[in-house]
Amino acid sequence: MKFRGSLACLSAAVAALTTLGADLRTLDGRVFREAEPRKLDEDRLTVKHSGGEAVLFFYEIPEVDRRALGYDTDAALKRLLQQVQELRRSKGSGNEAVSNPGPKMLTPKPAVPAPFAVAPTPAPSAPRLLPAAASIDTGRASLWNGLQPPRPASELPVVGSEDTVTSWELVNHFRSEPPAAAARYGRRTFRVTGVIERIDKSLATRLVRIFLETPDPAVRPVIEWRVDDRYNAFHTQRDGRTLVGQNGRTRTKLLEAGETVVFEVKGGPFEDGVVELKQARRRP
């Protein structure tokens, strides 16, 4: 994540947040009112807001805001994974040095900075989480504890229209085997079920984006759903936690955060940590 000059980037960030209404929402639902960027680093953004000051990592910020602020998500994810791999290699080298002492000792590589510290390897039954996500969101990750990792995508056939896949499976497959997951789900029609985290409304179309809860903030299933034409208006409430349709004076709650839903979708691309699920139709 390289910036073309701190002053220019800071000016671009100020303009971006002004365009967003001076509010910045993170992927886990936190909202920073009257947010003003103070410092841009390779992997984090320092903002001043109505409640004080906060430091946010790139994987906590929605992709649309990352682009507006000048972040290169692909480069950041590659660098993060490379740092984790280097740490693991350095641990392996250190163990070898202890078990096979000799005149030439191996020097461990420098430790990875705090945000990328890797916790001890979990038991096989624990969820496979991105190390960085585990370090910043342990409370949320605990909701997924005890779930068995699904069979690898490479061992499963392509999905069909009658298959129902959980958000847990999607996240695990795209986290561990992106090419195999793309082959299994890409351009395929299937059903997906999960718990709604929040809803984003389009300004120019009848499409809304439904973010499903995920055990790993670096991989996010997002459903693109078109609101039925029988509602002449629709809007979100409670900071994107409720979607309401309106027909004349009648208002109907369409979706709400925390609700478990089932949609028939068509698998789209996996880019910038987002699993796009297109052409959604709600199913009972």
**How many Cβ atoms are within 10 Å of 33's Cβ, its own excluded?**
11
Q: Measuring CA to CA, how many Å separate 229 from each of 207, 232, 233, 277? A: 11, 7, 9, 21
Residue 146's pLDDT is what?
67
Contact 218, 273 (CB under 8 A): yes
Please tell me the distance from the alpha carbon of residue 12 to that of residue 22, in angstroms, as a whole number.
Answer: 13
In a domain, 158, yes or no: yes
How many domains are there within the chain?
A: 2
Is the pLDDT at 187 greater than 90? The verdict is: yes
Residue 143's pLDDT is what?
56
Residue 122, SS3 per DSSP: coil
Is the pLDDT at 158 greater than 90? The verdict is: yes
Confidence band of 49 (pLDDT split at 50, 70, 90): confident
Mean pLDDT of the chain: 76
Place of tokens 């916790």: 119
Does 159 lie in the same domain as 56?
Answer: no
In a domain, 88, yes or no: no
Confidence band of 128 (pLDDT split at 50, 70, 90): very low
Residues in the chain: 284
Strands (E), the chain: 24-25, 31-32, 36-40, 44-49, 52-57, 164-166, 189-201, 207-212, 220-226, 233-237, 242-247, 250-256, 260-271, 274-283
Residue 203's pLDDT is what?
77
Over residues 251-263, the mean pLDDT reads 95
Is the pLDDT at 144 greater than 80? The verdict is: no
Residue 258's pLDDT is what?
92
Place of tokens 């900071």: 239
Over residues 160-164, the mean pLDDT reads 94
Does 178 lie in the same domain as 66?
Answer: no
Please tell me the distance from the alpha carbon of residue 170 to that of residue 265, in angstroms, as a whole number.
Answer: 13
In a domain, 109, yes or no: no
Alpha helix positions (H), the chain: 6-19, 63-69, 73-99, 131-136, 138-141, 167-176, 178-185
Q: How far is CA 53 from the centre of its chain?
A: 23
Please tell me the distance from the alpha carbon of residue 116 to that of residue 84, in angstroms, as a whole number.
Answer: 7
Domain's final residue, options 15, 36, 71: 71
Phi-psi map region of 34: left, alpha, beta (phi>0 left; psi -120 to 50 alpha): left
Q: Which residues, 6 or more positions from 33, have their beta carbon under 8 angstroms from its beta carbon?
A: 22, 23, 49, 50, 51
Over residues 147-163, the mean pLDDT reads 91
In a domain, 193, yes or no: yes
Domain's final residue, options 71, 97, 123: 71
Contact 79, 99 (CB under 8 A): no
Residue 130's pLDDT is what?
40
Residue 135's pLDDT is what?
38
CATH number at residue 188: 2.40.50.140
Does 165 lie in the same domain as 57?
Answer: no
In a domain, 259, yes or no: yes
* Of 42-46, 120-124, 256-260, minimum mean pLDDT range: 120-124
Does 258 lie in the same domain as 164?
Answer: yes
In a domain, 215, yes or no: yes
CATH number at residue 25: 3.10.50
Domain's final residue, options 53, 71, 89: 71
The answer to whether the Cα torsion of 156, 159, 162, 168 is positive or negative is positive
**Which range of residues forms the domain containing residue 259?**
153-283
Against a cut of 0.75, is the pTM above it?
no
Is the pLDDT at 98 greater than 70? The verdict is: no
Does 163 lie in the same domain as 66?
Answer: no
The token duo for 157 is 């056939």
In a domain, 250, yes or no: yes
In a domain, 116, yes or no: no
Residue 91's pLDDT is what?
62
